[in-house]
Amino acid sequence: MSALAQSGSTPGLAVRWRRSAPPTPQLLAWHDRLYWFEEPVHQNDALLLSALRRQTTIPIAAGQNEGHRFRHRELLVHQAVDFLQPNVLNGGGYTECAKVAAMAQAFNVSIANGGAWPHHNMHLQAGMANGTRVEFHYLAWMLGGAIFKDPPRSERDWVTLPETPGLGLEPKPEALREFRVS
């Protein structure tokens, strides 16, 4: 790893190191447990992500910080990701992210929530045919518990979505007063 840091961190160098290192049972077991490698390239450069994706068996996920569907399109056209990560708070809301999800489905790519705000993004994942996992950030989850009345709870790594109208999230009036910015 020190050679990587001293020589730079281009995708080719990283992969050459991995290929030249003798695989140990511990390394192989660790690698097999990886669900994805999230946003491994600065600024989600689609060409670099695509090059990295061709040289590794670890699935690549990116897009949680992209603000427009055309940036997601670039990731899809360049076959840069295995999981596209639209985020309703960063990507223009549910309508825009549903368009991103539909575009990803046309490329046979799954979506998965990246970033925080699982209380909001879990609905996008559940509502799209190619929706998969919701990334769970403990602090964001706890914030949801502080500002919403009776939010969904995680049980054995699963969350059951509310069946009430809308998102099923009712704000606590006292929390709205406490967090209000004037």
For every residue of 86-114, DSSP letters joined together read: --TTTTTHHHHHHHHHHHHHHTT-EEEE-
Helix (H), strand (E) at residue 175 = helix 173-179
Q: What is the DSSP letter of 166?
A: T
Residue 1 has pLDDT above 70, yes or no: no
Domains along the chain with CATH numbers:
34-135 (3.20.20.120)
Of 29-38, 80-89, 157-166, which one has max mean pLDDT?
80-89
For the entire predicted model, the pTM comes to 0.80
Closest among 149, 138, 143, 140 to 174, alpha carbons compared: 149
Q: What is the pLDDT of residue 29?
A: 65
Task: Give the angle 165-113-131 at the CA atoms, nearest 5°.
Answer: 70
Q: What is the DSSP letter of 37?
A: E
- Residue 72's pLDDT band (boundaries 50, 70, 90)? very high
